[in-house]
């Protein structure tokens, strides 16, 4: 029980900041939700809002439900945060809080303080992650374009096994190349683990598993390979920017 509790809290602390910038915005929302739930003299709209918030706090923002959602959603618990109408609830709570103060100068100071809190809770969105020059007209990484072109030139009826960062982009550029897995290699946990190791590739295990799944080509990162052309692999080309190797698998 203690280990499960530690895991639940660790998952909760990990997903809230990574899914919501600094994470402050969600915590502000939780505080506002608790205030609205405990506030006396609520009108009809505020009562309905408080009831909805109570359900959300129990079902979504509950550290003990995070492991369940993670398992069901393949680690994408953060998508459940989309059901939270966070700005509306924060605005409602801040407005109610401001109007509890009768002295206008103090009310204005409180509004400025709350606005500054919201400002500090965000992250600067104009950055190289959100705004970067496209490498080509298709707006996918150039490695994907080059890998797909190499596969079509050298492999008949291709079915590809590749790391997650390549796999889901291939679908955007060329839907005729089949894949054993869906986006991010979901659906085949063993193949996913082999294609996304922390260290170097186990190329023999990848070849056997990929062939068993009906794949006839594979894309691998060059920096995780111990040899350029392992046994059972035919190197058909290398991509430029991130240096991926494209192989045809041999029986």
Tens of pLDDT along 38-52?
A: 777 777 777 777 777
Are 8 and 102 part of one and the same domain? yes
pLDDT digits (tens, 9 = 90+) for 164-215: 888 888 888 888 888 876 554 445 668 888 888 888 999 999 999 999 888 9
Are 245 and 172 part of one and the same domain? yes
238, part of any domain:
yes
Are 84 and 9 part of one and the same domain? yes
The residue segments making up the domain with residue 243 are: 142-249
The pTM assigned to this predicted structure is 0.58
127, part of any domain:
no
* Adjacent-strand bridge partners of 217: 160, 248
Are 67 and 115 part of one and the same domain? yes
End position of a domain, from candidates 121, 155, 170: 121
State the total domains in the chain. 2
134, part of any domain:
no
Are 36 and 101 part of one and the same domain? yes
- Compute the average pLDDT of residues 213-228: 91
135, part of any domain:
no
The predicted pLDDT at position 201 comes to: 93
End position of a domain, from candidates 73, 89, 121: 121
Are 15 and 115 part of one and the same domain? yes
Instruction: Using pLDDT thresholds of 50, 70 and 90, give the confidence band for residue 70.
Output: confident
pLDDT digits (tens, 9 = 90+) for 108-164: 888 888 888 877 777 677 777 677 777 778 888 889 999 999 999 999 899 999 888
Are 86 and 148 part of one and the same domain? no
Instruction: Using pLDDT thresholds of 50, 70 and 90, give the confidence band for residue 105.
Output: confident
133, part of any domain:
no
Are 155 and 245 part of one and the same domain? yes
Are 153 and 243 part of one and the same domain? yes
131, part of any domain:
no
Q: Is the pLDDT of residue 74 over 80?
A: no
> In whole angstroms, how large is the CA radius of gyration of the chain?
25
End position of a domain, from candidates 91, 121, 151: 121
132, part of any domain:
no
Are 190 and 92 part of one and the same domain? no
> Could you tell me what percent of the chain has a pLDDT over 90?
21
11, part of any domain:
yes
Are 158 and 89 part of one and the same domain? no
Are 107 and 160 part of one and the same domain? no
């Amino acid at each position: 029980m203690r280990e499960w509790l530690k895991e639940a809290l660790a998952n909760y602390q990990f997903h809230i900041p990574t899914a919501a910038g600094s994470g402050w915005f969600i915590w502000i929302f939780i505080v506002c939700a608790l205030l609205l739930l405990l506030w006396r003299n609520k009108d009809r709209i505020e009562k309905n809002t408080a009831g909805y918030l109570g359900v959300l706090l129990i079902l979504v923002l509950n550290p003990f439900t995070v492991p369940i959602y993670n398992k069901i959603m393949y680690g994408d618990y953060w998508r459940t945060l989309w059901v939270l109408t966070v700005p509306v609830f924060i605005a409602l709570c801040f407005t109610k809080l401001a109007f509890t103060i009768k002295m206008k100068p103090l009310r204005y100071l409180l509004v400025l303080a709350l606005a500054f809190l919201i400002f500090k809770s965000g992250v600067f969105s104009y950055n190289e992650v959100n705004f970067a020059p496209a490498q080509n007209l298709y707006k996918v990484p150039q490695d994907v374009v080059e890998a797909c072109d190499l596969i079509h030139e050298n492999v008949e009826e291709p079915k590809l096994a590749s790391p997650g960062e390549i796999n889901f982009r291939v679908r955007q550029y060329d839907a005729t190349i089949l894949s054993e897995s869906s986006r991010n290699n979901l659906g085949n946990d063993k193949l996913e683990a082999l294609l996304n190791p922390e260290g170097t590739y186990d190329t023999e295990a990848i070849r056997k598993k990929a062939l068993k799944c009906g794949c006839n080509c594979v894309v691998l990162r060059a920096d995780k390979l111990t040899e350029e052309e392992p046994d059972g692999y035919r190197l058909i080309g290398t991509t430029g920017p991130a240096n991926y190797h494209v192989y045809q698998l041999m029986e």
